[in-house]
Amino acid sequence: MLKFYNKYENVIQPLISVFLGLLVGSIILLLTGKSPVLMFNALLKGLSGFDANREVYLNLRYFGEFLVFSMPIIMTGLSIGFAYRTGLFNIGAEGQLMIGGMIAVVIAILVPLPSLIHPVVALIAAFIFGGLWAAIAGFLKAKFNVHEVVVTIMLNYIALHVTNYVLLNLPGSDKARTADYLPTATLKSDFLTQITNGSRFNWGFIVVILAIILYWFLIEKTTFGYSLKATGFNKEGARFAGLKVNLNIVLSMFIAGGFAGLAGAIMALGTYNYGRIITSFENFGFDGIAVALVGSLNAIGILFSGLLFGLLRVAQPLMQSQLIPKDIAVIVSSSIVIFVAMQKGIKIFITKVLNRGVKS
Amino acid sequence: MSIIVRMLPISLMIATPIMIAALGGLFSERSGVVNIGLEGIMMVGGFTAATVTVLLQNNNPDMILIAPWIGLVTAIIAGAVFSSIHAYVSISLKSDQTVSGTALNLLAGGLTVFLAQIIFDQQRTATFVRGIARLNVPFLKDIPVIGEAIFTNVYPTNFVAWLLIIVSWFFIYKTRFGLRLRSCGEYPQAASSMGVSVYKMRYIGVLLSGAFAGLAGGIMVLTQDIQYTVASIHGIGFIALASLIFGKWKPSGIFLTSLFFGFSQTLAYFVTDISFLSSMPNQFFWAFPYVVTIVALIIFSNKTVGPKAAGEIYDEGKR
């Protein structure tokens, strides 16, 4: 038993955290006189459209919407995971996402380009701008040894206000939204909408798949990725070994910010056809922290945990319609983060219990 | 001049929760634990204060004046209890302090709105009859100009904040407790070798930060709002963090930077009335504290300010 646990620790630990998170959610629902069954029903319905009352077993529209919500969260998960591998904590994915989304909106409205090229240009710009925004924190860390956590927190709020300012001042904007995009810029697809029974599922998924492959390839298969990991393990050691530690820090933040910027662009161009002017964070970036940690910082892990957190998001309105406060989903996801943070303690506990089992 | 007199009371009102939450952050970071969960703790404090106030004031005219103060006391307790999650996870289980702080921020949004739906059947608390009552300070209000701007028709919580600055300064710099607390944030192994319990001091630091931030959240909702909503705290917890850093982790610095940030936030409301600023966009003033903090961090970077061991997981074996 203990051997099995030690071998698959990377998979078992996150699963335990998810289980405990759902348990906390269920207990809180029970304590407040609501049925946890309804919460799980809503999660199931969010996944597949399953609805026992109406004898619907599969409705691809729900599945499509579930993917729509998962895509940006997977991307921010990749963003935080990538920086974490270099020993950097990127709390700034939220702001990088907004900057990426903003630049995509600007290009979608102001720059006339032929279709196909238009969204690609917008995506590349989102990667670069999100990356540069994050690279500010990387540069300050490398040059002045200023802690990236504080800088990225501050950059989040600066991004929020910068984004609002820019979008409000685009031609045709009102207080809540910008003008419609030029039709060439969209990532929406009639074909994908049709096969998912009318959901907003869009070409953004190709970007997500490419990003997952890029993440895996860079981290696992290149010397660049290896030197990033070495920097993360032991900065002084890496410097002693002749690695360009400072450059690695800036580059790692740039790529991390690029992933988050793409998340913003996918949402902006795929889910909507106008830019939204929002006054507070939507927490896609913060969910990314949970996704990266639950996914054990590897590409496939982040894919699956991103899907899990996407599900917790898309199921929220479904919970509300069953008279369960939708915020229970937020409680579940933040509890999962706490349990992931407690991993060391949980590990000691499990090892103790399993050892006792061996003795008796 | 008259516009300054109009702006000053609002600046002080906005500065108060920033100041108190930043003091909370000071205790935590001085003990060696970074607490980026201040925002979340403030949300819990604000929700608790609003809920208690609403429930006590409901159909009970005798309670209208006293209820907000009881609300603040419960907010202090709620803040401390909520921060104990951070304390346990980051001190006892030695987990990453940034992760557990972030978890507090995420959890607070979900938890408060969830409870609001259970208690009030809506996404926010009910509106309270009256928040904290303003008062005129006798004698001081008669001082020309200052009396009108600072001591007339003013929230007494402003003075609570100033008092806490002095009390915190005294405890941190003039008592044995303060010396021990600071030593845990500078060089915990050395503190431990002198018989100081690092775990205990860090627990005290984090729980104090929770109590302060809870109070700050309560004051913020009961002076600036009519009810608690998920947007009630809107980033002030992070401005408090900025104020702590910009104030060089000192009570006097926190006092000045909180006033400064309170003033700069107020400017955003008044900008259209001030001719030479009216061309500046509102967003500039909203973003200002965050930009200033990054600049301050760069300026401080080659000096030794701030607790050296803050953010580091305590390891007894390390030299």
Q: Is residue A95 within 8 Å of A160, Cβ to Cβ?
A: yes
Give the least confident one: A1-10, A42-51, A165-174: A1-10
Query: What pLDDT does residue B315 have?
Result: 79
User: Using one digit for the tens of pLDDT, what is the confidence trace for A54-70?
Assistant: 777 888 889 999 999 99
Distances (CA, A) of B81 to A122, B78, B196, B238: 47, 5, 24, 20
pLDDT of residue B304: 64
pLDDT of residue A360: 53
B172: contact with A, CB 8 A cutoff: no
C-alpha A349 chain-centroid distance: 30
Residues of B numbered 225-284 whose beta carbons fall under 8 angstroms of chain A's beta carbons: which are they? 231, 234-235, 238, 241-242, 245, 281, 283-284
What is the Cα–Cα distance from A189 to B287, expressed in whole angstroms?
37
First to last CA, chain B: 58
What is the CA B198 to chain-centroid distance, rounded? Answer: 24
Beta strand ranges found along chain B (DSSP E): none
Coil, helix or strand for B193? helix
Look at A219-228, B218-227, B246-255, B260-269 and tell me which has the smallest mean pLDDT.
B260-269
| Percentage of chain B modeled with pLDDT above 70 | 99
Instruction: Summarize pLDDT for A241-260 with one digit per residue, the tens.
Output: 888 889 999 999 999 999 99
The pLDDT-based confidence of A133 (bands split at 50, 70, 90) is very high
- Predicted confidence (pLDDT) at residue B139 exceeds the cutoff of 70: yes
Q: Is A179 helix (H, G, I), strand (E, B) or coil?
A: strand
Does B287 touch chain A if contact means CB atoms closer than 8 Å?
Answer: yes
Higher pLDDT: A125 or A6? It is A125
Q: With 0.95 as the threshold, say if the pTM is over it.
A: no
What are the pLDDT digits (tens) for A277-331?
Answer: 988 888 898 899 989 999 989 999 999 999 999 999 999 999 998 889 999 999 9
All residues at 6 or more sequence positions from A68 whose CB lies less than 8 Å from its CB, including other chains: A199, A200, A201, A202, A270, A271, A314
Chain A positions in Cβ-Cβ contact with residue B234 (cut-off 8 Å): 280
User: Are B47 and B116 contacting, i.e. CB atoms less than 8 angstroms apart?
Assistant: yes
Mean pLDDT calculated for residue range B6-22: 93
Determine contact, residues A217/A47, Cβ cutoff 8 Å: no
Q: Which residues have CB under 8 Å from A344's CB, separation 6+?
A: B93, B94, B95
Residues in CB range of A314: below 8 A, 6 or more apart: A46, A62, A65, A66, A68, A69, A70
B 200-219 near A (Cβ less than 8 A): none
Cβ neighbours of B295 (radius 10 Å)? 12
For B301, name the nearest residue in chain A, comparing CA atoms only.
Answer: A144
Contact list in A for residue B98 (CB cut-off 8 A) is 89, 91, 149
The SS3 call for residue A182 is: coil
Confidence of residue A168 (pLDDT cuts 50, 70, 90): very high
Span B191-212, mean pLDDT? 94
Q: What is the DSSP letter of B296?
A: H
| B40/chain A closest Cα distance in angstroms | 12
Q: How confident is the model at residue A2 (pLDDT cuts 50, 70, 90)?
A: confident
Nearest CB to B238; choose among A153, A161, A343:
A153
Give the confidence band of B308 by pLDDT, cuts at 50, 70, 90. Answer: confident
Query: What is residue B1's predicted lDDT score, i.e. its pLDDT?
Result: 60
Q: Are β-strands A177-180 and A274-276 bridged in parallel, bridged antiparallel, or unpaired? A: antiparallel
Neighbours of A326 (CB within 10 A): 22
Looking at the predicted structure, is the pLDDT value of residue A21 above 90?
A: yes
A276 pairs with which residues across the strands? Answer: A177
B242: its two tokens: 């900025």
Q: In which band, very low, low, confident or very high, does the pLDDT at B289 lie, cut at 50, 70 and 90?
A: confident
114-143 in chain A: CB under 8 A from chain B:
140
pLDDT of residue B54: 95
Comparing CA positions, the residue from A290, A270, A332 lying closest to residue A42 is: A332
Which residues contact residue A77 at a Cβ distance below 8 angstroms, ignoring those fewer than 6 apart? A287, A288, A291, A292, A295, A302, A305, A306, A309
| B312 close to A (CB below 8 A) | no
Residue B292 has pLDDT above 90, yes or no: no
> Which of A213-222, B25-34, B134-143 has the least mean pLDDT?
B134-143
The average pLDDT across A150-174 equals 93
Predicted pLDDT at B319:
61
What residues of A are in contact with residue B265 (Cβ under 8 Å)?
Answer: none
Q: Please answer yes or no on whether A149 and B96 come within 8 Å at the CB atom.
A: no
Cβ atoms B249, B306 nearer than 8 A:
yes
A73–B contact, CB cutoff 8 A? no
Query: Which residues of chain A neighbour B297 with C-beta distances below 8 Å?
Result: 140, 144, 146-147, 150-151
Tell me what the mean pLDDT of segment B30-46 comes to.
Answer: 95
ipTM confidence = 0.89
Task: Please indicate whether, in this complex, the C-beta atoms of B36 and A155 are within 8 angstroms of each other.
Answer: no
Alpha carbon distance A170, A165 (integer Å): 9
Q: Report CB contact under 8 Å: B245, A286.
A: no
What is the separation of C-alpha A270 from the centre of its chain, rounded to a whole number of angstroms?
Answer: 16
